[in-house]
Structure 1
């Protein structure tokens, strides 16, 4: 009679996402995840082939979460705000999906495409369908850079960072919609 499964892939990925936020990518070990879900490390291999696959699954779950947040945004300013909120709530996942670093496993392209659906649609309504991709990339690059600087303590010249965000996002969106 086979041994009953003591955990699920969803539970493993959820535990891995939690560990990522607590201990960063170096702390995301199979042993730590196994301990978190209450099994021995070899049991994880019934669900995932390797740590790299698990990191990929965490990136994909994070992109799915981000997509759900962005999909109901009514405009680009609010979409950018939700993107920023995701980064603040899940800084390690934000880094994993936005700037994973050399050799770090990444999500499959369809997950990035899913997370991009809302911004592409809204950017198309502001900049025109022919410029939707360029507009989405412009806003994403600015917002990702801003959030990364916030998370890394890069704004150290004083001033109000919240005001800087509002200033920047409103102007970027306006520029995206301006006729050249």
Structure 2
């Protein structure tokens, strides 16, 4: 086994993120992460205090990744599509950051704020800076709800879900745009 000095917190968090996606939150244990990074579980405690802190670090890393993806969007539609793509590509991370269960550790607020910068800017361009926060919250709530329903097979009435996404996004965009 490698020495603890060869196991970084970044490697631990990356392994935990992979486990989250493959095994879910219930399968994210210190023992499983240790096996993934090639050390004994007690060695992890030199880098991560406990499972709760590990989950917090995974949530924060997921927000950094999502924020980086959103920062590349040139329009609110591109931003929403990237948000949706993240949800489909990383469903467990999406659920962790958008709707953590009761008692689930969450990211520190500054990580959410950083991930929201581009959304606030683009929403402000449409709604005006004085309504940017309300517009960003409206878009995010709709998109998070839509993606959560997709991930949980909540659309069972038939029809084209992609078309429903486009319709909803166009409707939200019109609703938050200044007249």
TM exceeding 0.5: yes
- TM-superposed CA distance for 1:178, in Å, is 4.1
Q: Structure 1 CA distance, aligned partners of 2:174 and 2:107? A: 31
Q: Structure 1 CA distance, aligned partners of 2:122 and 2:4? A: 47
Q: Hey, what does 1:36 align to over in structure 2?
A: 36
Matched, 1:81 2:81: yes
Q: Structure 2 CA distance, aligned partners of 1:49 and 1:177? A: 46
Q: Hey, what does 2:64 align to over in structure 1?
A: 64
* TM-score, with structure 2 as normaliser: 0.97
Q: Structure 1 CA distance, aligned partners of 2:40 and 2:14? A: 17
Ranges in structure 2 where 5+ consecutive residues have no aligned partner: none
* TM-score, with structure 1 as normaliser: 0.96
Over residues 52-108 of structure 1, what are the superposed CA-to-partner deviations in whole Å (9 max), with x where a residue is unaligned?
000000000000000000012111111000000000000000000000011000000
Q: RMSD between aligned alpha carbons?
A: 0.9
Q: Hey, what does 1:133 align to over in structure 2?
A: 133
Q: Hey, what does 1:9 align to over in structure 2?
A: 9
Q: Structure 2 CA distance, aligned partners of 1:30 and 1:151? A: 27
Q: Hey, what does 1:119 align to over in structure 2?
A: 119
Alignment of 1:43-54 (within 5 A): 43-54=43-54
Q: Extract structure 1 runs of 4+ deviating beyond 2 A.
A: none
